[in-house]
């Protein structure tokens, strides 16, 4: 929900093609503009709480430091209102709250995904999965088809989009 909301807010406010890189990044032009981290405490039948950290590169001149990232200021060529951006992200999250409770956001996530259809490498818990990202299942796991045709399911990890594979 958070990634979708950030991407939709950026698209609405700035008319930029913000896309989602599984599992928790927002990209513009293939460069990271936002990262999201979540922490949850749950029991078998109930979620106690979810803490979200949403870091959006708004007005920082990031290209001086990191070539794989960008900021809204760099893309737009002007400073943006962080207050307006935050307000828009919160509005987008509120609009999706009921759908989150019904676990009904996967299709919207897929429609914004820049990972699906790409060759990827996912590194998680000491395991590396490599192949073509073909789907995101109902739990949010990335489905990867390896070169031998077998399917693997990544529920979390660092996803790298491979080039020239």
CA 69/CA 34 separation, integer angstroms: 9
Asked which of 97, 112, 127 is the last residue of a domain, the reply is: 112
Both 103 and 139 in one domain: the answer is no
Residue 72 phi, psi dihedral angles, 5° rounding = -60, -35
CATH code for the domain in which residue 97 is found: 3.30.930.10
Q: Indicate whether 165 pLDDT > 60.
A: no
157 φ, ψ (degrees, to nearest 5): 140, 180
Which domain range does residue 27 map to? 2-112
Digit-coded pLDDT (tens) for 90-140? 999 999 888 776 667 889 999 999 999 999 999 988 899 999 999 999 888
- Residue 48 predicted with pLDDT over 90: no
CB count within 10 Å of CB 21 equals: 22
151 and 104, same structural domain?
Answer: no
Residues 101, 138 within the same domain: no
Tokens of 148: 């031998």
Alpha-carbon torsion (53, 36, 107, 27), positive or negative: positive
- Of 2-11, 38-47, 72-81, 127-136, least confident by mean pLDDT is 38-47
Global pTM reads 0.86
Residue 40: strand, helix, or coil = strand
Give the residue from 16, 35, 33 showing the smallest Cα distance to 25: 35
């Amino acid at each position: 929900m958070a990634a979708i909301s950030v991407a939709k807010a950026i698209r609405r406010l700035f008319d930029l093609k913000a896309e989602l890189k599984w599992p928790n990044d927002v990209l513009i032009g293939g460069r990271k503009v936002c990262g999201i981290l979540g922490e949850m405490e749950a029991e078998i039948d109930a979620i106690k709480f979810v803490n979200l950290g949403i870091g959006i590169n708004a007005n920082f001149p990031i290209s001086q430091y990191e070539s794989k990232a960008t900021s809204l200021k760099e893309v737009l060529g002007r400073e943006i209102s962080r207050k307006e951006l935050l307000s828009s992200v919160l509005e987008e999250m509120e609009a999706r709250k009921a759908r989150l409770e019904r676990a009904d956001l996967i299709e919207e996530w897929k429609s914004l995904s820049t990972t699906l259809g790409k060759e990827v490498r996912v590194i998680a818990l000491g395991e590396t999965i490599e192949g073509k990202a073909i789907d995101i299942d109902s739990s949010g796991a990335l489905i990867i088809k390896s070169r031998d045709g077998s399917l693997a399911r990544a529920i979390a990890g660092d996803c790298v989009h491979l080039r020239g594979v």
